[in-house]
Amino acid sequence: MHPIWNKDVMYLRKVGPVRADALRSDCRIATYGDLLQYFPRKYADRSRVSRIKDLREEGKPVNLIGKITSIHTSATRSGRSILNASFTDGSGFIELTWFEGVKWLQKSLKTGEEVALYGTPLLYNGRLQIAHPEIDRLESEDGVRNTLQIVPFYPSTEKLNRLGLDARGFRGLMHQLLEETRDQIEETLPLSLLKQYNLMGRKEALINIHFPRNFDTLKAALDRLKFEEFFFFQLMLALRRRLAKGQNRSMPFPVVGDYFNTFFKEHMPFELTGAQKRVLKEIRKDLAQPVQMNRLVQGDVGSGKTMVAFMSMLLAVDNGFQATIMTPTAILAEQHYKKISAMAAKVGLKTVLLVGSQRKKERTAILEMLASGEAAFAVGTHALIEDPVVFKRLGLVVVDEQHKFGVMQRARLWQKANPLPHNMSMTATPIPRTLAMTVYGDVDVSVIDELPPGRKPIQTVVAGEAKRLEVFGMIRRELEMGRQAYVVYPLVEESEKSDLLAAEQGHEVLQKAFQGFRTGLVHGRMKPENKEIEMQQFIRRETHILVSTTVIEVGVDVPNASVMMIENAERFGLSQLHQLRGRVGRGADQSYCVLMAGAKLSLDGKKRLSAMRETQDGFRIAEIDLELRGPGDFLGTRQSGLPEFQLGNIVEDQPVLRLAREAAFLLSERDPELQEADHQALRQSYIAYLQKQGASSTLA
């Protein structure tokens, strides 16, 4: 990289120490390089000049070129001064008005000089007028830069404005910067790539992003710079993946043996769906390799992820290994334990349950069975991660509802085996397919996109307060048929207390409204033991209605529950609503989801509720959620390890992202160490990129 990019911005003409301080603190611009990468927030098209005789009131700004013919001041009744000027371009006259900065304008405006004007004509007393137009002198170079072309607007702050760095001030700086440095702007991408993907050169792109020649070159400049941003990120993913495949050795499971085959042929309770079979095949292929599997299985609520996990666990045993499945809650662990231990017993395998609440004696026996290898499978919560837990030969780790765990927690389970165990994560919060394909590099993604046959779609209705009695009537009919119902209240941190109150009051109301039935209450502030007791009572059908704040979100399986009623549904996120709805519709009977909504809904709130009514497809829901929230919120940028892209948007710029990914992965295959002569500039920029991201090097 040319040393000029590290030069302190203070030394740029027109900057100096005071402005430099402000640029550093307000815009994180410290060097020439930072300034070059400080991109406009928007552009205004000031390239087309109108004629006064053609002007209409259209609410749109126009450009005019002409002269001020006269200037005069007057005063409002309240004594404020107003500046008026008459302006002509030869085709007609128009009145200009200013209410502010009158003194300064009186001094600076001149009659008779050719100027460019930018402003919005509005009718006033039957005549067109322009209030507060921008006036640029055409003789000065400064003036020309601000008009009669596409002009950039930079994000600025009040402090910077006061120091003269408003839109115009910034344009001046950028102009100065480019004057001094344009010949030092170096290409970062290999020429072959520029040609292959028809990309604008870096120098031209940077000049055009600041001062576009026209909208076509602006688009080409943006595409090029977005491509570059995505390309470096994808290159990092591609090289990391190569590195992992080389380093993360694991034991291969080449055998599909008796356990797998016997269970499959004799004990499989149903026919696997096509999607389950496909995903299982993908997993089998991974497991046969001497490289650690790192696979994320996405599948909607109820798509049958557990069986896929169980069959994979049998493969581990067929190859002489143990397997474990970790869940975010004890209830979920117990439910999995029940299913998995029963299935495992059919082929003579032992399963243990490991949760925090177990007594010492019980626990010691369990740990002993894991250490000796007597137990093939362990199901549990993060109690599994703790130090005294030792496996004889752990080969596969399954993490259920993986989004509930941090990266570190998962990694700690891996340390329980040497070589590394294979890793499979499961989630019912799907990430739209296109997104997953482009933002994950080091994880392989499998999708179970098919529900087992015979599921009745859940009937979803949105109801206002006026419909409450009707809704209660429906719930009563379900309860009388022996079904159960959930009623969920939102819990938002800032107003936690009042929300808890709402749930408690709601609980009382429901108890009165549903006499003869028992109602339980769980909320986030309860002790885990008490929560557990309440949940168990519902699972055993000792309570019929379970009132809760969102704590039931994850995983509970009560097939007898047929109603999910959500209060203030507009306050929930879309994915959360979908998860909650997934708690019902698990049995053979018709189930219902009632979304109670207030009268005043935001536009987004409305969209969420209608999405819920329209579709039950988790991937479709995820896509809508992504559109509504944007990728940052949706993926939780920090947690996902995704960098903040300055220009590129991983949703809107999918086409560019896909090309950049293709290019990066191809290049990583051809020249993983970036040694070719044509790749030297790229190598330097890539190293700088890694440093900026705080990422460790992927090069040897």
Binding site for ligand ADP (CB under 6 A): 270-273, 276, 299, 301-307, 428, 452
Residue 213 has a CB neighbour count (10 Å cut-off) of: 15
Nearer to ligand ADP, 99 or 270 (CB): 270
Nearer to ligand ADP, 35 or 275 (CB): 275
Residue nearest to ligand ADP (CB): 304
Shortest distance, position 306 Cβ to ligand ADP, whole Å: 3
Beta partners for residue 425, in sequence order: 296, 399
- Check: CB of residue 63 under 8 Å from CB of residue 75: no
Nearer to ligand ADP, 305 or 608 (CB): 305
CA 652-655-659 angle, to 5 degrees, is 140
Say which DSSP state 384 is in.
G
- Check: CB of residue 294 under 8 Å from CB of residue 244: yes
Shortest distance, position 349 Cβ to ligand ADP, whole Å: 18
**Cis status, amide bond into 419, omega within 30 of 0:** yes
Tally the residues of the chain: 700
Provide the Cα torsion 513, 519, 522, 527; round to 10°. Answer: 130
Shortest distance, position 449 Cβ to ligand ADP, whole Å: 12
Nearer to ligand ADP, 130 or 307 (CB): 307
Nearer to ligand ADP, 455 or 467 (CB): 455
Q: What are phi and psi of 651, to 5 degrees?
A: -95, -55
CA distances from 335 to 185, 435, 520, 526 (A): 61, 32, 20, 21
Distance CA(327)–CA(381), nearest Å, equals 5
Nearer to ligand ADP, 452 or 672 (CB): 452
User: Which residue is it, tokens 């991408």?
Assistant: 189
- HSE, side-chain direction, 13 A CA sphere, residue 171: 21
Element (H, E) at 463: strand 459-463
Shortest distance, position 352 Cβ to ligand ADP, whole Å: 20
Nearer to ligand ADP, 3 or 454 (CB): 454
Shortest distance, position 618 Cβ to ligand ADP, whole Å: 10
Structural tokens at position 543: 């309570």
Nearer to ligand ADP, 31 or 276 (CB): 276
Shortest distance, position 353 Cβ to ligand ADP, whole Å: 17
Nearer to ligand ADP, 279 or 566 (CB): 279
Shortest distance, position 332 Cβ to ligand ADP, whole Å: 10
Pairing relation of β-strands 294-299 and 81-88? unpaired
Structural tokens at position 471: 């809704």
Nearer to ligand ADP, 248 or 303 (CB): 303
Reference 562, options 520, 543, 590; nearest CA is 590
Shortest distance, position 326 Cβ to ligand ADP, whole Å: 14
Distance CA(310)–CA(297), nearest Å, equals 13
Shortest distance, position 639 Cβ to ligand ADP, whole Å: 22
Reference 611, options 599, 627, 598, 600; nearest CA is 627
- The 3-state DSSP class for residue 450 equals coil
Shortest distance, position 324 Cβ to ligand ADP, whole Å: 17
Distance CA(508)–CA(506), nearest Å, equals 5
Residue 284 has a CB neighbour count (10 Å cut-off) of: 15
Reference 279, options 448, 396, 426, 425; nearest CA is 448
Shortest distance, position 350 Cβ to ligand ADP, whole Å: 21
Nearer to ligand ADP, 151 or 448 (CB): 448
Shortest distance, position 304 Cβ to ligand ADP, whole Å: 3
Distance CA(408)–CA(411), nearest Å, equals 5
**Amino acid in position 209:** I
Distance CA(48)–CA(59), nearest Å, equals 16
Nearer to ligand ADP, 299 or 605 (CB): 299
Shortest distance, position 535 Cβ to ligand ADP, whole Å: 17
Strand ranges in 120-242 using DSSP code E only, listed in sequence order: 121-124, 127-131, 134-137, 150-153
Shortest distance, position 259 Cβ to ligand ADP, whole Å: 19
Nearer to ligand ADP, 340 or 367 (CB): 340
- Check: CB of residue 471 under 8 Å from CB of residue 565: yes
Nearer to ligand ADP, 300 or 567 (CB): 300
Distance CA(182)–CA(210), nearest Å, equals 12
